[in-house]
Structure 1
Amino acid sequence: MKTKLLSLSALVLLSSALALTVKHERGTVELAAPAKRVVALEYSFVDTLLALGVTPVGGALGTQGGDRGAPPYLRALTAKIPATGSRAQPSLESIAALRPQLIVADAFVQGEIYPQLAKLAPTAAFQSRRGSLDDLNAQTLAIGQLVGREAAAKQLLADQQGLIRKARAFAKKNAPPFVAAVVTPKSFTVHSNQSFVGSFLEALGRKNALSPKGDQTQYELSLEGLVALNPQTLVLFTAPDETPITQEWKKNPLWQKLSAVQRGRVYVFDRDNWTRGRGPMALKLMVAQAIESRLLPDTAPSAAFRDQ
């Protein structure tokens, strides 16, 4: 009997040692042990989990609600991960069927259904869609803790900082501020210095011309609004299968008067990889392309990143 009591006591202590409590946007999430079955409802969370060596049992990889599915750089890696609806329309039934031990949700996109998600499994909500680079880095560490890969998460962040330091060496000091925008067929949405890509490019050594507008880290501008800013550098994120609204704007004399256009400093990147991934793997690609494009030294863009 004494041996059994000692064993039980040891198990209780072990259980306490393995228990996890991690803060997130909606409070704290508590796990008795690191999660092995994780459903990720944002691409950045899928990216982070894969970078940590954890394959999600499900992810918001569908195209319901007008979503575009996994970004190109993630498609091959996510081909066998079951889709639990899309980011815009997660399927609670599909999520429940996967018996997750943890759900990682976007505090902005899935905020309204958070209570329903939390009934299915412990749910951590983070600001991914509306988060900055610092927010995303904090999430990498938090997710690493929740899946028992904290050391790996710290190494990812250390490697990332090393890449950013190397990239900053290419940046021209006192280069003019840039305006960065996601451009679709119907909208021109600027990304401030508190958005992910806006803060990322600042981390690489270029100055973002825009701060948040109220509590909006991203907001729409008209051509006239852009002309009023008259940036000397434009960074555009477009999709290869869409005709961006800027193609129509080019017919307007106001577009030709923009300093960035006259200087030949309009850089174009794939918005699916740059603004929808937002994880450690996406960041490696973005660092490489920021250097390859010649954005950092403020020289004319290379052919692959030139506005056509």
Structure 2
Amino acid sequence: MFLSFPRRVRPGAVVAAALLLSAGCAADPGGPAEERTEAVVDAAAHQATAVEPALTVTDPRGTEVSLDAPPESVVCLVALCDDILLELGLRPAATSNPQILAHEGFLGEEADEVPVVPGGFGNEDVEAITRLEPDLVIGLAGSHEGLAPALGTSTTVWLTDSRSWQDSVDYLRAAAALTGRGEQQAAAEQRFYDALADAQATAAEEGLAELKPLVLYGSDGSFQVDSRGSIVGGLLDQVFDYDWADRGTGGHQAGGSDYSMEEILAGDPDLIFLESFTFSPDDAPLSEQFADDPVWNRIEAVREDRVYEVDLAPWATGRGTRSLGIVLGDAVDLARR
């Protein structure tokens, strides 16, 4: 079972800060979560429409955000923000998430051009942010409440809390309204739904839809499962048979759930995606950490070498439509092997 520290955080303050910076833990949904995924959507039928510009929006969690003018300078303290801005054809004035920007599906080598906000995740340097004179700072509910009062005197703070892939689409739409980028939003939204439609079609045509994948994340041999109530699990459930129930035990991660290795063995996944949080070159990925576990080695997917280490940036931290499109592509490509 997963230990009693938050998702992707191992004991030790220094390591915990590094982990939070990488993962950007989301707010606790509060107790056992209902299944957040709806019936499988017909993504091929989706026609994205551009949102109208608005200086006041209400986000998927019911938070109202009001500005005096469309923001020209936005600081991102959560990777969802970086994802959204790039989808809208913008760049952050500064970021706490250089890893996501450095991904080849984002800015790649140009990520170095975006200043990095000093300070650990959830404890970013307020003075450094203030000096940038941003019009809007986008952070994460459950992590940045402590910064909001100090920053709120000079700028507007928007604390996001995406708990499903549908939420991520709605956050894109809300940000597009604020920035007046409806045309770019509609294009990005359509690209995401097209990627989902392609994944669904490929899975149906090639017999992949009946596969039962598992997303497992952790560090130091401790782990949890992304249930179908999580963002990634719910998305994969639109393509595959992602039959891992949400137990509401994910701590800071909506849809994260405790499963024992014995329960994973009994669940019999066809393939396993691993999100390994490592903090130094000497740290081993989860596939190596589990190598001597006798129960792990009895899982058929392990015996058939259908265990894949995936890129943390889009899979674990991105949460936005660009990241989720990458996840879909990765998942289908790996399932076809």
TM-score after normalising by structure 2 = 0.71
Whole-Å separation in 1 of the counterparts to 2:235 and 2:102: 18
* 260-269 vs 144-153, greater mean Cα deviation: 260-269
Per-residue CA deviations over 1:145-186 (Å, capped at 9, x if unaligned) read: 111112211221012111210111121365142221124334
SS of 1:39's partner is: strand
Deviates more, 1:49-58 or 1:253-262: 253-262
Matched, 1:236 2:274: yes
Q: CA deviation at 1:122?
A: 1.4
Quote the Cα distance in structure 1 between the aligned partners of 2:91 and 2:325. 19
AA aligned opposite 2:256: Q
Q: TM-score scaled by structure 1?
A: 0.78
1:105 aligned residue: 139
Q: Deviations over 1:272-296 (max 9, x none)?
A: 3321222333234333322322x1x
Q: Does the aligned pair in 2 maintain the 1:26–1:125 contact within 8 Å?
A: no
Tell me the residue number matched to 2:324: 283
Cα shift at 1:36:
0.6
SS at 2:310's partner residue? Answer: strand
Identical positions, percent: 24
Question: In structure 2, what is the equivalent of residue 82 of structure 1?
Answer: 115
- 2:95 is matched with which residue? 59
**2:57–2:174 contact (8 Å) kept in structure 1:** yes
Deviations 1:77-125 (A, max 9, x none): 4211122234332211111111111111111322343333333311222
Structure 2 partner of 1:256: 297
What does residue 241 of structure 2 align with? 207
Supply the distance in 2 between the matched residues of 1:179 and 1:23 (Cα, whole angstroms).
33
User: Cα gap change, 1:41/1:20 in structure 2, threshold over 3 Å: closer, same or farther?
Assistant: same
Q: CA deviation at 1:44?
A: 2.0
* Aligned 8 A contact 2:54 2:177 in 1: no
Partner SS state of residue 113, structure 2: coil
Structure 1 residues 50, 69: CA separation in 2 closer, same or farther (over 3 Å shift)? closer
2:181 maps to 1:181:
no
Q: Secondary structure at the match of 1:288?
A: helix
Structure 1 residues without counterparts, runs of 5 or longer: 1-16, 63-67, 302-308
Higher RCO (C-alpha under 8 Å, 6+ residues apart): 2
Amino acid in structure 1 at the alignment position of 2:79: Y
Q: Find the counterpart in structure 1 of residue 64 from structure 2.
A: 28
Cα 1:119/1:188, change in 2 over 3 Å = same
Q: 2:229 aligns with which of 191, 194, 197?
A: 194
Partner amino acid, structure 1, of 2:81: F
SS of the aligned residue for 2:295 comes to: helix
Task: Answer yes or no: is 1:115 the counterpart of 2:130.
Answer: no
Alignment size in residue pairs: 272
Q: CA RMSD in A?
A: 2.7
- The structural deviation recorded for 1:228 is 4.3
Distance across 2 between alignment mates of 1:157 and 1:260: 34
CA contact (8 A) 1:179 1:233 kept: yes
Q: Counterparts of 2:97 and 2:273 in 1: how far apart (Å)? A: 27
Task: Name 2:22's counterpart in structure 1.
Answer: none
Partner of 1:168: 200
After TM superposition, give the deviation of residue 47 of structure 1 in Å. 1.9
Aligned-pair CA distance for 1:199: 1.8
Contact persistence 2:54–2:180 (CA under 8 A): no
CA separation in 1, counterparts of 2:235 and 2:91?
A: 26
CA deviation profile, 1:213-235 (whole Å, cap 9, x unmatched)? 23631134443443343433322
Counterpart contact for 2:100–2:313, Cα < 8 Å: no
Give the helix-richer structure, 1 or 2. 1
Shift of 1:70: 5.1
Q: Contact between 1:18 and 1:32, CA under 8 Å: does it hold in 2? A: no
Residues 57, 100 of structure 1: 8 Å contact kept:
yes
Work out which of the residue numbers 103, 109, 112 in structure 2 matches 1:72: 103
Structure of larger gyration radius: 1
Cα deviation 1:228-282 (Å, max 9, x = unaligned): 4343332222368541244232223222221322444323312233212223332
Runs of 4+ in 1 over 6 A off after TM superposition: none
- Change in 2 beyond 3 A, CA 1:177/1:213: same
What do residues 57-87 of structure 1 show as CA deviations (whole Å, max 9, x unaligned)? 121137xxxxx67553345242111222343
In the alignment, the residues of structure 1 paired with residue 189 and residue 62 of structure 2 have an alpha-carbon distance, to the nearest angstrom, of 24
